[in-house]
Structure 1
Amino acid sequence: MALPLVVITLAFIFLVYYLFQKFRFKLPPGPRPLPVVGNLYDIKPVRFRCFAEWAETYGPIISVWFGSTLNVIVTNAELAKEVLKEHDQQLADRHRSRSAAKFSRDGKDLIWADYGPHYVKVRKVCTLELFTPKRLEALRPIREDEVTAMVESIYNDFINPDNIGKSLLVKKYLGAVAFNNITRLAFGKRFVNSEGIMDEQGKEFKAIVANGLKLGASLAMAEHIPWLRWMFRLEEEAFAKHGQRRDRLTRAIMEEHTLARQKSGGAKQHFVDALLTLQEKYDLSEDTIIGLLWDMITAGMDTTAISAEWAIAELMKNPRVQQKAQEELDRIIGSERVMIESDFSSLPYLQCVAKESLRLHPPTPLMLPHRANTNVKIGGYDIPKGSNVHVNVWAVARDPTVWKNPLEFRPERFLEEDVDMKGHDFRLLPFGAGRRVCPGAQLGINLVTSMLGHLLHHFSWAPPQGIKPEEIDMGENPGLVTYMRTPLQAVPTPRLPSHLYKRVAADI
């Protein structure tokens, strides 16, 4: 009898709390919540699509209850501007789940830090020191090296007699670029040799990433129902061991770079070197340095590969666009050399292809929640202090009131109108906006554009035999980032002389 009594008591408490909030504040409309669980059982797995469907019924700003926590979702550019510009400071805090709190040392990093002196300091380090045009240019050889390594790998697999006529798993090659690029930028280490063999540090790194994902996913339901957390205990020992393991690897790499600087008398441009040399200037704790390095890994490991995979899928579904992009590459680059990043300015259509793909398929379609640090009004509704506000950037970028034929993959729209995608135009927000805009936006844009340019210049892309372009599965997997539900299979056909498929390794 004890358990039913507990459930009834919790349901009564939730009902009182919900009615109190409802009559005290003018909350946005939304589906009716159930006691204790709120709307959790009504939410479909692909949340950003579910919320977009609810917005069609309740309007562009809706209330959704995750257990006893109010979450407000906005789905148009006008409301996104209110959240990310007009009321940015009041909504600049961050909701941290128990796992996020553990991973970030309770907000000692950038992604999960509340807005305040610490956030302002580490944000300054990122914008003024780490992601400057000068540093991005110094690290350009790494990006170009990894992209050409991807091309060589695809070509070698294509000419392998065992693969003749077979399709390739596109994600495999894009994931390798993303992995090697981010570990070299952050840690100055390529954990995989030219034969594709991963060293011991690389194996440990991948194991740490996989274990972190497992730990984070283990608390999904309990995070939203604080009253029931006694049933879903935090695995303190498991999180502690994970943190120690992560720190041990990171400190070993930091020590390697410290010794290398002492020997050479100077620092390289990798982020670990930069942070260590800036530690005293900005009074950065070791926890903050480790947190920032893993923020970069978390934010950059999958998002670029995801963006490029969606773009290739769209190009296979739209052969006209693929051909037009290749004609531009042939005209500007020709068939005697490979593309480099300094060519971007001469390739406007390629840039539009990347932008159009990021519009239709933002890698983080539901922006990380902005927590209200005070009561605020959005769209004429009350947002109580402590509520979470999400911008559904996927829905904003498909709004038919601001985009003509929004579901059509048509890069030409960005030739007709120059639309910023780094936080200044609220119709297109793949990297967010305001105080919490992604500081590495330009780095991500450069890598995605480079990957697409090389993939299109070196190869033509077609669906596997027997699959029509319109049959490619364009559904998404549930989760924070938008993996394709069915990983893309494609048949590449080389377009250039064979000698242009060789990688020349860059030692940086």
Structure 2
Amino acid sequence: MHSPSIHPPLLIQPPSSPNPFNTHSPMEFSHTLVIFSTIFFTIILTLIRPKRRLNLPPGPPGWPIVGNLLQVAGSGKPFFQYVRELVPKYGPIITLKMGTRTMIIISRADVVHEALIENGQVFATRPAENPTRAVFSCNKFTVNAALYGPVWRSLRRNMVQNALSASKLRTFREVRGVAMDKLVDRLKAEAEANGGAVWVLKNARFAVFCILVSMCFGVEMDEKTIEQIDEMMKLVLLTLDPRLDDYLPLLRPLCSKKRKRAMEVREQQIAMLVPFIERRRAAIGSLGSDPTAAEFAYLDTLFDLTVEGRNDPPSNPEIVTLCSEFLNGGTDTTATAVEWAVARFIEAPSIQSRIYEEIKSVVGERKINEKDIENMPYLNAVVKELLRKHPPTYFSLTHSVTEPAKLAGYDIPKGANVEIYIPGISEDPKLWTNPDRFDPDRFLTGGESADITGATELKMIPFGVGRRICPGLGMATLHVSLMIGRMVQEFEWTSWPQNSKVDFSEKTEFTVVMKNTLRAMITSRV
């Protein structure tokens, strides 16, 4: 369950005004004058100040101060594609100078193992945040964003033990069943109104969000309310898209309108979620008198959470942040995987036919449930291949080093952004046979293996690896498997328009999604 709110510059946007001298007031002009004066003197100091030359990994040459930032922003390519083209030229460990930040990109399994397994403690922290983003994370008070240390240990331990453990996940079995029924009903209604055509990502996203809202808040909500919360979460993610001032802090005075807008979104987020927090706070004292309240929710664990180094429990804004992390981290990643899965089923009908036959042989005519999945080796192989070929994100959450370090013989400066380019590993021909081919049988008759936790081997890491591996790994694979199983059991999926080819082009939103959102034809199997 990666939170997509923290990532490398996948969508770097240029400043809103193409000419920084188009000021409209003396105050704006003075800001501009200060910025460019500071840049000038910074260049002079950079040129005359002696310092030890680091042996950084290779990378494309850049400009003074901005480094490679304008090359990336001006390439017109998604960041993952820009990196994909650098790897053959510069190798498995690359340096990009992104303004004031040094970015180290790793794309080979042995180098990742050296960093995150052999030297896991050194590479386990997170880089500094833009002040605007820090407002949303309550100064890194989240599992994903926290610096390596006591706060991170406390938050992660609570999430894993009290929300994402196998035993806790089982308590939400009924919630998942209800969400799957809603998904089937929504797909049927949409198909009936549109000549059999349905939007895959939109429906999958709503279904998984319903599950996570119930797990998080433990109070019953109608579909309209759930959709409103979902829209709020998407707005937050859009607000957190990387900007040039993330890499050039000197530009922040020119981004005051965006910063003001971010503060407004944060206030809206708090205003929307606090009433549900307070409703749950009141409900847990009298569960028997509220028939809509669940017996347990992730929120319950946050009210009196003890965090190392702190005397007080989390405040309401901090609880909003932790709940948002829980919701965002598991929604788009799962829904994206389901969309890619349906695309593969349309491209290769034999795959969905084999899943359907396996379901019939294991469960007969009743609805598939999560217990059944354990007895479906082909379905599990499909999910593994899906996560190998279409990981939810192409970069794991950004790592940073707690002290100057060495990696593959190169210097890694303290505070550097360390990015793991996941396809460099999952598509490595030295690790995989025909890595470009989508082939679930590689895990069955092909004799290939894949430990997605990285505990026994490092061949694919869709959820990261090491100390900062995604804590929602088990929940994510469960949700993807269950949704795929139920969707294939209920419907046959074919192309829309009929006989058209699936376009597997990619683009980056919160996750790596299909460039052209998938619409498919469904035919009920009942």
TM-score, structure 1 length as denominator?
0.88
Partner of 2:295: 268
2:187 is aligned to 154
Identity %: 29
Q: What is residue 369 of structure 1 aligned with on the other side?
A: 398
1:62 to 94, 114, 124: 94
Question: Larger deviation: 207-216 or 437-446?
Answer: 207-216
Aligned 8 A contact 1:267 1:274 in 2 = no
Give distance in 2, aligned partners of 1:311 and 1:21. Answer: 54
Partners of 2:496 and 2:521 within 8 A in 1: yes
- Matches of 1:231 and 1:244 in 2, distance apart? 22
SS at match of 1:175: helix
- Report which of the two has the higher share of helix: 1
- The answer to which of 238-247 and 77-86 deviates more is 238-247
Q: 1:19 to 1:458 in 2, by over 3 A?
A: farther
Deviation, 1:228, is: 2.5
Q: Which residue of 2 aligns with 1:504?
A: none
Map of 2:194 onto structure 1: 163
**2:94 counterpart of 1:76:** no
- Is the deviation greater in 8-17 or in 86-95? 8-17
SS of the residue 2:506 aligns to: coil
Paired with 1:462 and 1:15, the residues of 2 have a C-alpha distance of 62
C-alpha contact 2:96 2:103 (8 A) present in aligned 1: yes
Distance 1:216 1:235 in 2: 10
The one-letter code sitting in structure 1 at the alignment partner of 2:370 is E
Map of 1:105 onto structure 2: 138
1:383 aligns with 2:416: no
Unaligned segments of structure 2, at least 5 residues:
1-20, 22-28
Question: Contact 2:209/2:230 (CA < 8 Å) preserved in 1?
Answer: no
Closer/same/farther in 2, CA of residues 33 and 141 from structure 1, 3 Å limit? same
- What whole-Å deviation, never above 9, does each CA across 1:156-190 have from its counterpart, x for those lacking one? 333x2x433x4221122112112211111111245
Q: CA deviation at 1:377?
A: 0.9
Classify 1:380/1:22 alpha carbon distance in 2 versus 1 (closer, same or farther; 3 Å): farther
Report the residue type matching 1:422 in the other structure: T
1:72 positional shift: 0.4
1:291 equivalenced with 2:321 (yes/no):
yes
State the Cα distance separating 1:24 from its structure 2 match. Answer: 1.6
Distance 1:235 1:42, change over 3 A: closer
Partner of 2:348: 318
Does residue 492 of the first structure (1) align with residue 526 of the second (2)?
no
Q: 1:232: how far off?
A: 2.2
Q: Supply the RMSD in Å over aligned alpha carbons.
A: 2.7
Structure 1: runs of 5+ lacking an equivalent: 498-508
Q: Does 1:205 align with 2:195?
A: no
1:250 is aligned, of 260, 273, 278, to 273
Q: Give 1:483's aligned residue.
A: 513
Change (3 A) 1:33 1:19: farther
Q: Which residue of 2 aligns with 1:407?
A: 436
- Opposite residue 165 of structure 2, the aligned amino acid is T
Note the C-alpha offset of 1:71. 0.2
- Over 3 Å counting, the alpha-carbon distance change for 1:20 and 1:481 in structure 2 is farther
Distance 1:337 1:292 in 2: 37
Q: C-alpha distance in 2, partners of 1:9/1:243?
A: 31
Q: Describe the shift of the 1:104–1:152 C-alpha distance in structure 2 as closer, same or farther (beyond 3 A).
A: same
Number of corresponding residues: 483
Q: Distance in 2 between matches of 1:450 and 1:18?
A: 59
Find the residue that maps to 2:177 and give its secondary structure: helix
Which has the larger displacement, 205-214 or 355-364? 205-214
Per-residue Cα deviation, 1:215-238 (whole angstroms, up to 9, x for no partner): 323x61111112322322375544
Q: What does residue 119 of structure 2 align with?
A: 87
Q: Counterpart of 2:229 in structure 1: which amino acid? A: F
Tell me by how many angstroms 1:13 deviates. 3.7
Q: Distance in 2 between matches of 1:350 and 1:49?
A: 30
**CA gap 1:332/1:320 in 2 versus in 1, 3 angstroms:** same
Q: Which residue in the other structure is 2:251 paired with?
A: 228
Equivalent-residue separation in structure 2 for 1:358 and 1:419 (angstroms): 10
- TM-score when scaled to structure 2? 0.85
Q: Which runs of 4+ in 1 moved over 4 A?
A: 1-9, 14-23, 234-237, 277-283
Give 1:107's aligned amino acid.
K
Q: Verify: 1:354 aligned to 2:386, yes or no.
A: no
Contact 2:494 2:522 in 1 (8 A): yes
Change (3 A) 1:37 1:343: same
CA distance in 2, matches of 1:484, 1:492: 19
Cα offsets for 1:423-446 (capped at 9, x unmatched) = 423221111111211111101110
Letter in 2 for 1:223: D
Q: Aligned with 1:89: secondary structure? A: coil
Q: Name the stretch that deviates more: 118-127 or 40-49.
A: 40-49
> Cα distance, 1:82 vs. partner?
1.6
Maintained 8 Å contact 1:11/1:36: no
Q: CA deviation at 1:420?
A: 1.4
- For 1:393 and 1:252, how far apart are their aligned partners in 2? 39
The one-letter code sitting in structure 2 at the alignment partner of 1:215 is T
1:474 aligns with 2:507: no
Does 258-267 or 399-408 show the bigger shift? Answer: 258-267
Q: Choose 143-152 or 299-308, whichever is displaced more.
A: 143-152
| Separation in 1, partners of 2:492, 2:51 | 56
Q: Higher mean Cα deviation, 324-333 or 291-300?
A: 324-333
Partners of 1:11 and 1:35 within 8 A in 2: no
Instruction: Judge conservation of contact 1:474–1:485 (CA < 8 Å) in 2.
Output: yes
